[in-house]
Amino acid sequence: MLKRRLQEPWLREQWVLPPAHNAEFVCAMEGVLDVYQRPYDPRRPVVTFDETSRQLTKETRTPVPAAPGRPARVDYEYERNGTANLFLWFEPLAGRRHVKVTERRTKCDFAVAVRELVDGYPAAEKIVLVMDNLNTHKPASFYEAFAPAEARRLIERLEIHDTPKHGSWLNMAETELSVLSRQCLDRRIPDRPTLETEVAAWEQARNTAHCKVDWQLPPPTPAPNSNASTRHSSPVEPLGTIGSFKKTTGCQDSPRCSPTV
């Protein structure tokens, strides 16, 4: 097999390659993984947050529906009809998520989405929020969108943990967006109202099924030149263990998002 691979140099696999000898990366990674190991606490729910954009495309010719022995047919041409942004927040231990469709992805859009998230947990003392390092994903965005008192209220309700740079794959919301893309966004969607309807149906189906994410971390690995151990990896060694843990999502066969299916 190895000899065969060497004879096929055009083959290539795409990976998320973590940086080696990077203490900053390991520090942020350890912080996020510690959060994921916390037991469920309704007073301090762990919520992950991410976003993605979607190109809206119209059909230029009426599709031909499927028939016995023949799949549906669509024309290869399509018409671009703008873009939409999708904010998704996901509570892994509760199996609950929400998707908010917006026209743009500015700091103010982010702040409005997070306020909706925060106000959705009125009984929580703190919301433990995990998100990536996108330039708009900063507490300062609240001051861009709201009065100082409101911005401060939101900040005091949040315990924020950022994933490391080039480590957004540690964000469980990104995993959930991947499921959304495969189950709901893998076809042409012509406009924002249709997108909102389709996404809402997918969200309801996933929430009804309480689909969760289960991450299983590897056992501790010995630290170099020490009797101590670090649970994930050492900042002075190549981060070979990163990404080696098992990450699975429940309900992979949940219904497609269209309410008519």
List domains and CATH numbers for the chain.
38-53+78-218+227-261 (3.30.420.10)
pTM: 0.79
Q: Give 199's Cβ-side CA count (13 Å radius).
A: 25
Q: Cβ distance 215 to 243 under 8 Å?
A: no
Q: Give the model's pLDDT for residue 260.
A: 37
DSSP character at residue 89: E
Q: Cβ distance 117 to 142 under 8 Å?
A: no
Residue 150 CB contacts under 8 Å (≥ 6 apart), including other chains = 115, 142
- Give the separation between CA 224 and CA 241, rounded to whole angstroms: 14
Q: Give the model's pLDDT for residue 249.
A: 56
- Give the separation between CA 99 and CA 113, rounded to whole angstroms: 10
- Give the separation between CA 242 and CA 188, rounded to whole angstroms: 36
Residue 251 CB contacts under 8 Å (≥ 6 apart), including other chains = 206, 209, 210, 211
In whole angstroms, what separates CA 185 from the centre of its chain?
A: 15
Residue 12 CB contacts under 8 Å (≥ 6 apart), including other chains = none
Burial of residue 130, with CB atoms counted within 10 A of its CB: 0-12 exposed, 13-18 middle, 19 or more buried: buried
Calculate Rg over the CA atoms of the chain: 21
In whole angstroms, what separates CA 125 from the centre of its chain?
A: 24
Q: Give the model's pLDDT for residue 41.
A: 94
Q: Give the model's pLDDT for residue 234.
A: 38
Kindly give the parts of the chain with pLDDT less than 70: 1-7, 16, 18, 216-261
**Which of 208, 217, 141, 130 has the alpha carbon at shortest distance from 174?**
130
Q: Give the model's pLDDT for residue 213.
A: 81
- Give the separation between CA 74 and CA 188, rounded to whole angstroms: 10
